[in-house]
Copies of this chain bind each other. A is one copy, B any other.
Amino acid sequence: MQTNDPALKSFIPTPPESHFPIQNLPFGVFSTAANPAPRVGVAIGDQVLDLAELSEAGLLTVGSDVFRQASLNPFIALGRQTWRSTRASISQLLQHDNLQLRDNQALRTKALVAQDQVTLHLPLEIPGYTDFYSSKEHATNVGSMFRDPANALLPNWLHIPIGYNGRASSVVVSGTPVQRPNGQLKLPDAEAPIFGACRKLDFELETGFIIGQPNALGEPIDIADAEQHIFGMVLLNDWSARDLQQWEYVPLGPFNSKSFATSISPWVVTMEALEPFRVASPVQQPEPLPYLRQSGNNGYDIALEVSLKTSDAAPAQTICRTNFKAMYWTMTQQLAHHTVSGCNTRIGDLMGSGTISGSTPDSYGSLLELTWNGKNPVTLADGSQRSFIQDGDQVEMTGWCQGDGYRVGFGSVSGKILPARSK
């Protein structure tokens, strides 16, 4: 039986709205109060399965030293066959009629921990972070606002899966508070810039994929092979200081406006788990250059939502609903392009999708677009308005693939904004 077969059932109960049924089995890094050493686990229902314990019980072929680590990188380094065989073993062990774990109460006590009892850590050591810009709707919106609505897309956009290098050091795991950045701002009618706290703080709804199989310098990844280089996907919030960005980004791209924080979700959903949710990606016209051509279904049907909370006590209000399947450039095109120059990748490299915006105003993946650069503030249930993010606001993104009666989900990535540092 395939690990993503909808008919699979686990002895761990997973209601239909759970993101973590047996069909998913995402990998992450967790610790507990009782054992603060970070280690590798898999989410199942409302539990975390401790892979080091499973290994020590002789139920996995991979040694427990690989799982007693603060990142997934050593496990990923074992290669694609091992990712797959380990996931298949875990799937077996969790099946409703498999007694090995189900009926071993001592092992269950050691190897299963309630998710609300764990701390989730950044799951990866991330040697490089690249961010793409692959939503046509997003690129069109930005171009309309800041350049020319009649020629919103730049000439290269339909030919190149445009990307840029981000700052890997400041990638943080969901739940990490984010300090509003200080920096240079140039006010609309001012002669010179001032220094101060960002006034146009924004989120960007993205996904990211993780390099599992690296390529050597000088050896591009062929698009036909690209998928085999991807370990899995996460949700990503590319926090953006729009005012800093507008002043700094010409000609070398965003820098301080993005480098203060990038948040990712703690669970890495494998490409195997996403396999049943492949869909056609948008038709590309003009046809891309040969190194970017591919056949088959290379998009993924991932429902995405962004919600905002104005305080710990306030309800989360959904302000964006969209879907990853609208992305113009695919992940495999991004990876083929990234490496076609000979650029090498490394295990754990994070590749952001770029802001995911749909075609309707409620499907835009940033406040910049949702409020059209602050012109049309979003009105919340309590009557307050938001043009951009205020101190104390919490932004949460979630995403899932909807199966028949189950979901393969990403959990969420959230972050609360702290006031800027006073200089």
A residues whose Cβ falls under 8 Å from a Cβ of B:
127-128, 133, 154, 156, 159-160, 162-170, 172, 179, 181-184, 186, 192-195, 217-218, 220, 241, 244, 247-257, 259-261, 286, 289-291, 337-338, 340-346, 349, 421, 423
Contact = CB atoms under 8 A, between A and B. Distances in A.
A184 B162 contact: no
B184 A250 contact: no
Contacts of A181: 341-342
B154 A250 contact: yes
B250 A170 contact: no
Given A164-B255, A184-B289, A247 B156 contact: yes
Dominant SS among interface residues on chain A? loop
A170 B343 contact: yes
Contact of A253 (B128, B164, B167, B247): B164
A159 B181 CA distance: 18
Contacts of A164: 164-165, 252-253, 255
B256 A338 contact: yes
B346 A169 contact: yes
B291 A260 contact: no
Nearest to A166: B165
Contact of A259 (B154, B172, B248, B341): B341
Q: Can you list the 5 inter-chain pairs with the closest CB atoms, starting with the nearest?
A: A253-B253, A165-B165, A164-B252, A181-B341, A259-B343
Contacts of A156: 184, 186, 193, 247-248, 250
A337 B344 CA distance: 29
Given A156-B186, A164-B164, A251-B253, 6 more contacts: A127-B127, A170-B344, A179-B218, A182-B341, A256-B337, A257-B341
Contacts of A252: 133, 162-164, 249, 253-254
A156 B128 CA distance: 28
Contacts of A192: 159, 286
Nearest to A125: B127
Nearest to A131: B252
Contacts of A250: 154, 156, 251
Nearest to A249: B251
Nearest to A133: B252
A343 to B, nearest CB: 4
A289 B195 contact: yes
A133 B250 CA distance: 12
A341 B160 contact: no
Nearest to A254: B252
Contacts of A259: 165, 338, 341, 343
